[in-house]
Amino acid sequence: MSKNEFLYLATVIFTLTFAIRASNNMLITTIPLISAYIFHFSSVLIGVLSSILSISSFISSFFVNSRLDNSRRRELFLISSATYAVVFPLFFVANCILIFILSFIAGFSLGILFPNIITLSGSLNDRKMSERMLALYTTALSLSLIISPGLESLILQRFSLREAFIFFSFLAFLVLFISLKVRFPESHERREISAKAREILFSPRFLAPFFNNLMYDIPFAFIEVFGGIYAIEYFHASYSMATFLFTLYFLTSFIGRALFTLRAPSNVFRIILLNVALSVIGLFLAFISFNVILYVISLLILGMPHGLTYPSSLVLIRRNFRDEERSAANSYFTGILMGLGGIVPIIMGGIVSLIGIRLSFLALTIVVIVFFSLFFIKQREIKNKESS
């Protein structure tokens, strides 16, 4: 691949990822606020609604995208881009019933878009350049998560929660425009990949990055749904301020991923150890926070493992799987994480109704330690198999 081709691919991946994640994050963080303060849903119902996005993404990524051949994958990718562009502005007029339907359709589209961008990012033959492209993909995610809540915070100073959807619809249409320029690499036949599904899903090669990501994916899902509500209820923050806090959270996430892009580490395990320590410290600080300043500090700390966990998991998948397995592995990985992201808000909504948001932060420290232990076990199995 020439330098110009590499730069073109990097530009397409970066811009497409930015537009998708910025608009998607707006959905994830704003729908709970609309549910709580316009529709007056209970904590459990807020969790259910937030879960629909993730559950429908899981269905499309795990059961549909993983079984497509190259030509059909591109067709569905374009259809999903168009559907997302049409559905997004309709959230402006959604009522308490329509918002469930729109959330399902938007989530289904995202379940097709995200794993294909990951596969495209890791498709280069050169391992170092491929891992840097994956890191660039995750950096675009973090940058979008800085700008998206910051922009929404400014919008909410003059406009309502509903009206914010109109402004972000531009990004949804940008997704469709850029998708027309995406070309997927050649892939093996669908039946060859499907036959290896069980082998992929239950192998330590898959479970190690999966447990690594769950170690922080569960706390992150909780923060996205209840982080803003926590600031409003406990520290009397405004809607604008509660949204702006996510910008600070994603700022350190972006810094971590930018460093990962500039110099992808050869020893990923050290990064994972750092993530564990920062996650436990940040969650405990959020638990003991008695004012918004301490809460901001906790979010700044928690942003770093958010930034480093996902790219380290993608690098592990890139290193663990052969080219003909990687597309399916990415689809299963993305789909399962999205599906669990749908279950987590429901479970956490129930836990919040029992023990409150503050104690839930403390409970999440246990989750981090448990999944790190599982990751460590599977990583040792991989090492033992390589040395035997």
Q: pLDDT tens, 371-388? A: 999 999 998 988 888 776
pTM score? 0.73
- CA–CA distance, 250 with 294 (Å, rounded to integer): 16
Q: What is the pLDDT of residue 131?
A: 76
pLDDT in tens, 1-52: 567 777 888 899 999 999 999 999 899 888 888 988 899 888 778 878 877 8
Give 185's pLDDT tier (boundaries 50, 70, 90).
low
Rounded to an integer, the average pLDDT of 262-291 is 88
Confirm if 247 and 29 have CB atoms less than 8 A apart. Answer: no
Confirm if 149 and 247 have CB atoms less than 8 A apart. Answer: yes
Residue 120 CA: distances (Å) to CA of 131, 153, 177, 308: 12, 32, 17, 20
Q: For residue 363, with 0-12 CB atoms within 10 Å meaning exposed, 13-18 middle and 19 or more buried, which class applies? A: middle
- CA–CA distance, 322 with 200 (Å, rounded to integer): 11
Helix (H, G, I), strand (E, B) or coil at 61: helix
Quote the tokens at residue 112.
């097709």
Q: What is the pLDDT of residue 86?
A: 95
Confirm if 345 and 221 have CB atoms less than 8 A apart. Answer: yes
| % of the chain beyond a pLDDT of 90 | 32
Q: What is the pLDDT of residue 243?
A: 77
Report whether pLDDT(280) > 90.
Answer: yes
Residue whose structure tokens are 């380290």:
312
Which residue did the predictor score with more confidence, 284 or 238? 284
- CA–CA distance, 327 with 192 (Å, rounded to integer): 12
Quote the tokens at residue 188.
């093996």
- CA–CA distance, 153 with 244 (Å, rounded to integer): 5
Report whether pLDDT(279) > 70.
Answer: yes
User: What angle (nearest 5°) sits at the alpha carbon of residue 19, between those of residues 18 and 24?
Assistant: 100
Rounded to an integer, the average pLDDT of 72-81 is 87
Ramachandran assignment for 291, one of left (phi > 0), alpha (psi -120 to 50 degrees), beta (any other)? beta
pLDDT in tens, 296-331: 999 999 999 988 898 899 889 888 887 777 778 888
Q: What is the pLDDT of residue 191?
A: 44
Q: Report the amino acid identity of residue 352.
A: V
Give 194's pLDDT tier (boundaries 50, 70, 90).
very low
Report whether pLDDT(129) > 70.
Answer: yes
Q: Which of 61-75, 96-110, 121-135, 219-233 has the highest mean pLDDT?
A: 96-110
H runs (alpha helix) in the chain: 3-37, 43-58, 70-87, 98-121, 127-156, 164-179, 190-195, 197-201, 204-235, 239-262, 268-288, 292-320, 323-387
Give 165's pLDDT tier (boundaries 50, 70, 90).
very high
Quote the tokens at residue 18.
């930015």
Report whether pLDDT(355) > 80.
Answer: yes
Rounded to an integer, the average pLDDT of 256-268 is 79
Average pLDDT, the chain: 85
Confirm if 252 and 301 have CB atoms less than 8 A apart. Answer: yes
Report whether pLDDT(187) > 70.
Answer: no
User: Taking Cα atoms as reference points, which of 135, 71, 72, 118 lies closest to residue 321?
Assistant: 118
Which residue did the predictor score with more confidence, 163 or 342? 163
Residue 320 CA: distances (Å) to CA of 61, 309, 326, 338, 373: 20, 16, 9, 21, 20
Distance of CA 282 to the CA centre of its chain: 19
Which residue did the predictor score with more confidence, 14 or 337? 14
Rounded to an integer, the average pLDDT of 348-369 is 90
Report whether pLDDT(121) > 80.
Answer: no
Confirm if 58 and 338 have CB atoms less than 8 A apart. Answer: yes
- CA–CA distance, 191 with 33 (Å, rounded to integer): 44
Give 288's pLDDT tier (boundaries 50, 70, 90).
very high
